[in-house]
Amino acid sequence: MNPHLLVIELNNQAVAFMKQNQFHDAISATSAALKYQREIEIARSVAQCSTSEGEEECACDCIDQYMLECDRVDLPCSALSSEFVYQQGIPIPYNATKTMAQVTPIIIFNSALSHQLLALHQQHHQAGTIKSQHFLTHAKRLYQLAHDANDREENVLFQFAVINNTAVIHKALGNLAASKKCFDFLLSLLMVFIDRGCSTQVKHMHDFLVNVSANAGTAAAA
């Protein structure tokens, strides 16, 4: 199989696993996808160094397009958290082999989400607080990597999801100051996006607003 298609297939398998609450399988799939994607990036770097001109990356697609094109799915474990968590994994179209720059942050996001949902699932079934905290901590680090790997300003919804989920994790781990900082930043992003008149294009805008409002009220009360 074409290496690019293999990476996409593994990522999309992870999305399917998450919908079925098979979070360990989703984590394994994203780990394999990241391994192959890293090999692709190394090979591409070597090839570009041996030529006078590097390959130009097609910039016609963005992560937000992929997020908006997939139907919203309320995952079976959506009631496991009192906070809104963006729980939709991001699939990659199989014709996206020419826009591979978007692939790495997507896979990292899906890996982070898999860890976060696994932690929520374990907490709900009282399967071990220490283990769930470990998965939440790992998810937080992965979200940071996904945020750093995203270099496209137009991926606003992607930023919403990353920052929102990170804020929820900070709160769950007792890092209230860090959580508030994330929610404050999310609020500023939401205001900018609403000012642009684009809020009707985002299916999850209401949920993000509810999350920010609820936590702002909590902070004010404190």
One digit per residue, pLDDT tens: the chain, 222 residues? 788 899 999 999 999 999 999 999 999 999 999 999 999 888 877 776 655 454 444 445 689 888 887 755 544 444 556 788 999 999 999 887 656 678 999 999 999 999 999 999 988 777 557 889 999 999 999 999 999 998 777 788 899 999 999 999 999 999 999 999 999 999 888 887 777 766 555 556 777 888 888 886 554 444
d(CA 142, CA 136): 10
What pLDDT, on a 0 to 100 scale, did the predictor assign at position 205? 73
| Helices and strands in the chain, H and E counts | 8, 0
What pLDDT, on a 0 to 100 scale, did the predictor assign at position 200? 55
The pTM score is 0.86
d(CA 82, CA 73): 18
Task: Give me 123's structure tokens.
Answer: 């907490």
d(CA 151, CA 143): 14
* Nearest in space to 113 (alpha carbons), one of 48, 56, 158: 158
What pLDDT, on a 0 to 100 scale, did the predictor assign at position 103? 93
What pLDDT, on a 0 to 100 scale, did the predictor assign at position 202? 58
- Using the 8-state DSSP alphabet, how is residue 100 labeled? G
Element spanning 188, H or E = helix 176-195
Q: Give the count of beta carbons closer than 10 Å to the beta carbon of residue 31.
A: 14
d(CA 55, CA 162): 29
